[in-house]
Chains A and B, each alone.
Chain A
């Protein structure tokens, strides 16, 4: 019996071909992710360059990539491929897209919040919250979007600390309902799950779900980053808390949706810019610190009460450079052109040791 007539052999061949094709599909996915990252960096570089056409830089790109020449990747082909990529990058740079930095990876809740701001916004991932602030300050991004508070887990302390110190302006806000999912590798038996990786905020928002199911929370720098990590590491005993978008991006299975401890789970984000907002606005955030004496904070709050200005949030943060001293972040409803608001802010500035107006912006509806 020859090989082609043997039905068993034929079956083996189809299985092999299927496996090879799955590998090719997976590599294509990775190529696209890398290509997207390359475009993102090209756009960031474009914000610094005076002229988009830069022949010497292009030559150095070609030199870099053609040094990896191999029998399967001929110079001619690589050069052709990179000409296409570079021309597409330049095309994107020309379009003057607005870049918005966010902490985390693609599929993070911050990125989902950016999508609600408009189509012309391009989200750029950053590793840390500090990188988002720094990227906006340096002009890499037009904007940054960072979470300040969550309805279950409360303040995002790191962001509030950065807001106290930053010279950036708040120019907008967004309130996004957050519905967490427990994700795992496809085909995972739920009985095998032991630990769950995610951003500490997400783990905190699902604390009772994790405890009910005896799952150990493991902090990770980002929700979507944890999803990518799991897809890469293939750990059968690990789960991840992240968005459905992150599950789709990394081919993970949703074990359980809506695992947050309360269905009314929402996170408030603020939009940062190096320029203050010029359009209409009805909400404001200020940061200040007071002397350490009886009634110092009360003296500030009294000014708002007497002016009948409605406060929406007050947050106190230790000043990291000066332990024992505290800064306050305060949000209130009011417009910049309102005389009473202006007067009140002037009096607050006189009453406090440090004072900073982070900006007026339109209030988001929950």
Chain B
């Protein structure tokens, strides 16, 4: 991977990306929250629940990339305002996705971390735009992308001057249809061999199945992941998007407890 200059591990210490009190690359960071911000009440209730369940950061989509143009597209700026209120209520910083270069500065005004979604991983104008900021970026792996292509996208962001990049493995397309995607856990130690950047995993999109989220979270932690991003809804059956893969707050807190115990156990082995 000769094209990597800023992202490559060579000669560089491992990066730590800090968002509020969460340190990616130094400790295990759990981001949790609903797929979409649906209302102030829903977001704040979920935010308080995931905080109590052990989350370090909030997530919530205000601008949504949906397969169908007729599906709920997100609340937009209103969603960002609600996320800011949830941050105020819990003290937890939040990550949210940006889809459009024209929205980048606005999302940055509100959010603590900007997410580039899997579908936009190779949207180079969007990568350059977030690269001009100093705001931390969560770069998801494209569903058809190789690790090399993914790392080159991080290179785009860093080349513009923003060193605060966190990678996120979220599953790739395979011939398997039982799961929504195939969570590529081997990507975690692979990235660690190639790059100094922190990498987390998204077992929600990686599996698309509630029953598989906890086992894959534990597997991710065991593989050396720096954290997780997990969808939680106060009442998954009522969710406006991705309702089949959202955990209840109770399921989430059980998962967080087990993962933290595993991370602590592994720390004791070193």
Interface residues of chain A, those whose CB is within 8 Å of chain B, are: 189-191, 209, 212-214, 255-256, 259
Minimal Cβ-Cβ distance residue in A for B78: A253
- Find A256's partner among B76, B100, B102, B109 (CB 8 Å cutoff): B109
Most-contacted residue by chain A among B100, B102, B108, B109 (CB, 10 A) = B109
Judge if B124 is at the interface, Cβ distance under 8 Å: no
Task: Report whether A212 and B109 are in contact in the complex, using a CB–CB cutoff of 8 Å.
Answer: yes
Bound Cα distance from A342 to B98, whole angstroms: 64
Q: Does B39 contact A (CB under 8 A)?
A: no
Query: Does B106 touch A at the CB level, under 8 Å?
Result: yes
Chain B residues within an 8 Å CB radius of A190 = 76-77, 103, 106
CA distance in complex: A256, B106 (Å) = 9
> Within 8 Å of chain A (Cβ to Cβ): is B105?
yes
Interface contact A191-B103, CB-CB below 8 Å: yes
Q: How far is the CB of A186 from chain B (nearest CB, A)?
A: 11
List residues 77-113 of chain B with CB under 8 A from any CB of chain A.
77, 100, 102-103, 105-106, 108-110
* Residues of chain B contacted by A214 (CB below 8 angstroms): 105
Q: Is the interface of A mostly helix, strand, loop or mixed?
A: mixed
Q: How far is the CB of A182 from chain B (nearest CB, A)?
A: 9
A255: chain B residues within 8 A (beta carbon): 77
B157 to chain A: closest CB distance in Å?
A: 18
How far in angstroms is the closest Cβ of chain B from A209? 8
Q: Provide the bound-state CA to CA distance between A266 and B106, in Å.
A: 25
**Bound Cα distance A209, B110 (Å):** 12
Known: A190-B77, A255-B77. A212 touches B102 (CB 8 A): no
In the bound complex, residues from chain B placing their C-beta under 8 Å from that of A213 are 105-106, 109
For A254, give the chain B residue with the smallest CB separation: B81
Give, as a whole number of angstroms, the nearest-CB distance from B73 to chain A.
13
> How distant is B129 from chain A, measured CB to nearest CB, in Å?
12
Q: In the complex, A61→B106 CA distance in Å?
A: 53
Q: How far is the CA of A67 from the CA of B108 in the complex (A)?
A: 59
- Cβ of B102 and Cβ of A191 under 8 Å apart? yes
Say yes or no: A212 contacts B105, CB within 8 Å. yes
CB distance from B116 to the nearest CB of A (A): 19
Give 13 CB contacts A-B under 8 Å.
Answer: A189-B77, A190-B76, A190-B77, A190-B106, A191-B100, A209-B109, A212-B105, A212-B108, A212-B109, A213-B105, A213-B109, A214-B105, A255-B77
Give the shortest distance, in Å, between B23 (CB) and chain A (any CB).
Answer: 24
CB distance from A217 to the nearest CB of B (A): 16
Q: How many residues of B contact A (CB 8 A)?
A: 10
- Shortest beta-carbon distance from A191 to chain B in Å: 5
Which residues of the other chain, B, contact A256 by a CB distance below 8 angstroms? Answer: 109-110
How many angstroms between the C-alpha atoms of A36 and B100 in the bound complex? Answer: 46
Distance in angstroms between the alpha carbons of A255 and B76 in the assembled complex: 11
Cα–Cα distance between A128 and B97 once the two chains are bound (Å): 46
Closest to A209 in B: B109
> Bound state CA distance, A191 and B104, in angstroms?
10
Chain B residues with CB under 8 Å of A209's CB are: 109
Name B59-84 residues within 8 Å CB distance of A: 76-77
Using Cβ atoms and an 8 Å threshold, which residues of chain A touch B105? Answer: 212-214
A237 and B67 CA atoms in complex are apart in Å by 30
A212 / chain B contacts, CB cutoff of 8 Å: 105, 108-109
CA distance A213 to B76 in the complex (A): 16
- Give the CA-CA distance A213 to B107 in the complex, in Å: 10
CB neighbors of A among B92-144 (8 A): 100, 102-103, 105-106, 108-110
B residues less than 8 Å from A259 (CB atoms): 109
Chain B, Cβ-Cβ closest to A192: B102
Q: Measured between C-beta atoms, what is the minimum distance from B228 to chain A in Å?
A: 31
A209 to B105, CA, bound (A): 10
- What B residues does A191 contact at CB under 8 A? 100, 102-103
Chain B residue at minimal CB-CB distance from A191: B102
Q: How far is the CB of A133 from chain B (nearest CB, A)?
A: 39
Determine the chain A residues whose CB is within 8 A of the CB of B77 once the complex forms: 189-190, 255
Rank and list the top 9 A-B pairs by shortest CB-CB distance, nearest first.
A213-B105, A191-B102, A190-B77, A190-B106, A212-B105, A256-B109, A213-B106, A255-B77, A191-B103
Of all chain A residues, the one with the shortest Cβ separation from B106 is: A190
Residue in A closest to B84 when the chains form the complex, CB atoms: A257
How many Å lie between the Cα of A256 and that of B83 in the bound state? 13
For B77, B100, B108, B110, which residue has the most chain A Cβ atoms within 10 angstroms? B77
Give every chain A residue within 8 A of B76 (Cβ-Cβ): 189-190
> Measured between C-beta atoms, what is the minimum distance from B131 to chain A in Å?
15
Residues of A with C-beta under 8 A to B100 = 191
Minimum distance in angstroms from A255 CB to a CB of chain B: 7
Chain A residue nearest to B102 in the complex (CB): A191
Contacts of B108 in A (CB 8 A): 212
Docked complex Cα distance between A256 and B110 (Å): 8
Q: How far is the CB of A160 from chain B (nearest CB, A)?
A: 33
Assembly CA distance A259 to B102 (angstroms): 19
- B109: min CB distance to chain A, Å: 6
Additional 16 contacts, C-beta under 8 A, given A190-B77, A191-B103, A209-B109: A189-B76, A189-B77, A190-B76, A190-B106, A191-B100, A191-B102, A212-B108, A212-B109, A213-B105, A213-B106, A213-B109, A214-B105, A255-B77, A256-B109, A256-B110, A259-B109
Q: Which residues of A contact B106 (CB under 8 A)?
A: 190, 213
* Docked pose: A170 CA to B36 CA in angstroms: 55
A193 to chain B, nearest CB (A): 9
- Provide the bound-state CA to CA distance between A26 and B110, in Å: 33
**Considering only CB atoms, which chain B residue lies closest to A255 in the complex?**
B77
Please give the distance in Å from B82's CB to the nearest CB on chain A.
Answer: 13
Query: Could you tell me the distance in whole angstroms from the C-beta of A192 to the nearest C-beta in chain B?
Result: 10
Looking across the interface, which residue of chain B has its beta carbon closest to that of A193?
Answer: B106
